[in-house]
C-alpha cells in the first residue's frame, strides 16, 4: 500500500501520521517527552529524547498498517530552538527553548548594534530574545567549549531530517524563526550575524520547502521498519505547514487555527515590514508557497478559555453531556445564550498575544448584573476571544494586510455557534474544512507533491482539503456586534492602562 507520512515535532511531544493518496488517515502515533527545567528560568529540550520519540512513533504508525510502503515523508516542527551538532553529527547538548530567559542581554546587544526598526526591516521579526540568534550568542559567551565544537545549529525538524538522511538543510519558514534570515532576499543576513558575532557557516544551507532531501539511510530504515527508498522532503515551521494544509494558496486568505491558543495566519504577496508591523509585534515570514508571505496573529486564550469555564463553572456539563450522548462542549454550546450579550470579556487570562505581547495582562469580565446568567457568560467568552482576533485583523489591515476570508481548523472549528459568532464579529465568511489537523495535512501535501503523487500544491489541495460548511455574516447580529466591538476596544485600552 503506497502511503505518505507527516511528522510533527512539538515542544512537548511528536506525532507520526500515515495517509493514503486520497487523504484518508491510515494510522497515527504520538509520544510525549519532558521539557527540561534546570532552574533559574531555563527551559530546554533534549534532542536525544526527541529522536528516540520520533523513532518510536514512526515504528508504531507503520506497525498499525502491515505492508505500508511510504512514498515520502515531510516534517513540521516548533521554531526558534536549535540543536548544537558537531561534525560527526552528534548533539552536543540540549536545545534552549523560546521561553528560556537566556538571551535577554544578547538581544540588548543586537538592539544597540542594529536597532529594532532595522532588525524588523531585515528579518521580518521583532527583535526579541526568544529567537535563535540571541540564544546562540549566549552559548558562545557562556559555553565556549560547546560553541567551538559546533558544526551546525539545526532547528528541530531539520535535525530529525538530518538524522534520517545525512543532509543538513533548513527551509525559509524555519530560518525566519532564527532572526538571522533576510526575509526579502531569502538568505542568511551578514548584518545580523556580524552584529551577533556568529559565523553564518554554523547554520544550515537554505532550501525551499518541498525540496527532496534524499532517501532514508539504510541503517535507519532497517531499524524503523521503513522502506529505504522513502523520500524525505523539506517541511517547515508548524504554522506555515498549517497554512498550506488549510489550502491557503493565495492572498487575502487566512487560516484560523482555533486550538488551545488561537492563531490567524494570513497570506500576502510581498514582504510587509513597516512600522505598523513592529508596533503590533507581527512577523513577516516566507510562506511555503514560493512568492507568498505569512503573518501570525495570535491570542494565548482560545480553546483554553472555554476549557477554563468548563472546569470551573460547568460542573453539570459532564453529567448532562453523557446523558445526551454528546461532548461536553456540544452541551455547553447548546445551553449558550441565543442572542449577542451585553457582556464584554477581555480574554487576557494568560497574558496577551499580538498586538500587545504583555505577559502581565489580565482578563476582564465587564457588565455583570444580578440578571446575568451562565448562558450569557459562556457566550460572552466566545465573543470576547473573537473581539480580540477582530482587533488583530484590524491592526493587520492598517499595516497593509487584509483578510477577506477565513478557513477554520482545530478543535474550536467544530462549534457551529462559535463559527457563526466569528463570521458576525469579523464580518468575513468562514469556511470549516474537512481537515482536522492542518499542520499534518501540510506535511502530506509537501511529501505528495515532491514525490509526484500530486502534480502541484493546487492539485493536492483539491484532493485533500475540502470545505464542508460556510458561515456568512448575518444581520441583525453583525450590526449589533459592530457597536459592541467599539465598546470592547475602549474597555481593553482602559484595562491595559491599569
Across all residues in the chain, what is the average pLDDT?
94
Q: Residue 294: is its pLDDT beyond 80? A: yes
Element (H, E) at 205: strand 205-207
First to last CA, the chain: 61
The domain of 76 spans: 2-240
Contact predicate 285/237, CB 8 Å: yes
Q: What is the mean pLDDT of residues 10-31?
A: 93
Cell of 300: 494565548
If asked whether residues 134 and 69 sit together in one domain, one would say yes
- Cell numbers 473573537 correspond to 386
If asked whether residues 312 and 225 sit together in one domain, one would say no
If asked whether residues 289 and 348 sit together in one domain, one would say yes
Cell of 423: 463570521
- Cell numbers 450522548 correspond to 325
- pLDDT, residue 218, reads 94
If asked whether residues 284 and 358 sit together in one domain, one would say yes
- pLDDT, residue 365, reads 97
CA 188 to chain centroid: 23
Q: How far apart are CA 99 and CA 133, in angstroms?
A: 14
Cell of 168: 543538513
pLDDT tens digits, residue range 119-168? Answer: 999 999 999 999 999 999 999 999 999 999 999 999 999 999 999 999 99
Judged by DSSP in three states, 233 sits in strand
- Cell numbers 511528536 correspond to 14
Q: What is the CATH number of the domain that holds 484?
A: 3.30.420.40
Contact predicate 72/231, CB 8 Å: yes
If asked whether residues 229 and 207 sit together in one domain, one would say yes
2 pLDDT band, cuts 50/70/90, is: confident
If asked whether residues 214 and 294 sit together in one domain, one would say no
Q: How far apart are CA 161 and CA 236, in angstroms?
A: 11
b vs e for 314-338, b when ≥16 Cβ sit within 10 Å of the residue's Cβ?
Answer: beebeeebeeeeeebbbbbbeebbe
Q: How far apart are CA 332 and CA 374, in angstroms?
A: 10
- CB-based contacts of 295, cutoff 8 Å, min separation 6: 265, 266, 268, 272, 277, 282, 283, 284, 285, 396, 401
Contact predicate 294/270, CB 8 Å: no
Whether 455 is covered by a domain: the verdict is: no
Q: Which has the closest alpha carbon to 167: 152, 179, 149?
A: 152
Domain count, the chain: 2
Whether 333 is covered by a domain: the verdict is: yes
Q: How far apart are CA 354 and CA 300, in angstroms?
A: 9
- pLDDT, residue 425, reads 98
If asked whether residues 263 and 228 sit together in one domain, one would say no
**pTM for this structure?**
0.91
Q: How far apart are CA 32 and CA 127, in angstroms?
A: 31
Q: Residue 474: is its pLDDT beyond 90? A: yes
Amino acid at each position: 500500500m503506497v502511503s505518505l507520512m507527516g511528522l510533527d515535532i512539538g515542544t512537548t511531544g511528536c506525532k507520526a501520521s500515515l495517509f493514503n493518496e486520497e487523504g484518508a488517515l491510515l494510522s497515527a502515533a504520538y509520544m510525549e517527552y519532558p521539557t527540561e527545567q534546570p532552574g533559574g528560568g531555563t527551559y530546554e529540550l533534549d534532542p536525544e529524547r526527541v529522536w528516540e520519540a520520533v523513532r518510536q512513533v514512526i515504528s508504531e504508525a507503520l506497525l498499525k498498517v502491515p505492508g505500508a510502503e511510504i512514498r515520502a515523508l515531510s516534517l513540521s516542527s516548533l521554531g526558534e530552538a536549535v540543536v548544537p551538532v558537531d561534525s560527526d553529527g552528534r548533539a552536543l547538548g540540549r536545545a534552549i527553548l523560546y521561553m528560556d530567559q537566556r538571551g535577554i542581554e544578547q538581544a540588548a546587544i543586537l538592539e544597540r548594534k542594529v536597532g529594532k526598526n532595522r532588525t524588523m526591516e531585515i528579518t521580518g521579526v521583532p527583535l526579541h530574545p526568544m529567537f535563535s540568534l540571541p540564544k546562540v550568542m549566549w552559548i558562545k559567551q557562556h559555553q565556549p567549549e560547546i560553541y567551538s565544537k559546533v558544526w551546525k545549529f539545526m532547528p528541530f525538524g531539520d535535525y530529525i531530517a538530518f538524522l534520517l538522511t545525512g543532509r543538513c538543510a533548513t527551509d525559509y519558514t524555519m530560518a525566519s524563526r532564527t532572526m538571522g534570515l533576510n526575509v526579502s532576499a531569502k538568505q542568511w543576513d551578514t548584518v545580523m550575524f556580524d552584529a551577533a558575532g556568529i559565523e553564518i557557516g554554523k547554520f544550515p544551507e537554505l532550501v525551499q520547502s518541498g525540496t527532496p532531501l534524499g532517501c532514508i539511510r539504510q541503517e535507519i530504515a532497517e531499524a524503523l521498519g521503513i522502506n529505504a527508498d522513502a523520500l524525505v522532503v523539506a517541511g517547515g515551521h508548524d504554522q506555515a505547514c498549517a497554512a498550506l494544509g488549510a489550502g491557503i494558496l493565495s492572498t487575502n486568505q487566512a487560516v484560523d487555527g482555533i486550538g488551545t491558543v488561537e492563531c490567524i495566519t494570513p497570506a500576502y504577496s510581498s514582504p510587509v515590514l513597516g512600522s505598523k508591523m513592529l508596533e503590533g509585534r507581527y512577523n513577516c515570514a516566507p510562506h511555503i508557497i514560493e512568492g507568498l508571505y505569512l503573518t501570525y496573529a495570535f491570542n494565548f486564550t482560545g480553546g483554553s478559555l472555554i476549557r477554563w469555564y468548563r472546569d470551573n463553572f460547568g460542573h453539570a456539563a459532564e453529567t448532562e453531556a453523557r446523558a445526551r450522548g454528546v461532548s461536553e462542549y456540544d452541551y455547553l454550546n447548546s445551553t449558550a445564550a441565543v442572542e449577542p450579550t451585553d457582556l464584554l470579556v477581555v480574554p487576557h487570562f494568560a497574558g496577551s498575544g499580538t498586538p500587545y505581547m504583555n505577559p502581565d495582562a489580565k482578563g476582564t469580565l465587564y457588565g455583570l448584573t444580578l440578571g446575568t446568567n451562565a448562558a450569557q457568560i459562556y457566550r460572552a467568552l466566545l465573543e470576547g476571544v473573537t473581539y480580540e482576533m477582530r482587533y488583530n485583523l484590524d491592526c493587520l489591515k492598517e499595516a497593509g494586510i487584509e483578510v477577506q476570508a477565513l478557513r477554520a481548523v482545530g478543535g474550536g472549528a467544530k462549534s457551529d455557534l462559535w463559527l457563526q459568532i466569528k463570521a458576525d464579529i469579523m464580518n468575513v465568511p468562514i469556511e470549516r474544512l474537512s481537515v482536522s489537523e492542518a499542520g499534518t495535512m501540510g506535511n502530506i501535501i509537501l511529501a505528495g507533491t515532491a514525490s509526484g503523487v500530486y502534480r502541484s500544491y493546487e492539485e493536492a489541495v483539491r484532493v485533500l482539503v475540502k470545505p464542508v460548511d460556510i458561515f456568512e455574516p448575518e444581520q441583525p447580529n453583525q450590526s449589533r456586534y459592530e457597536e459592541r466591538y467599539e465598546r470592547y476596544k475602549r474597555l481593553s485600552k482602559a484595562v491595559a492602562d491599569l
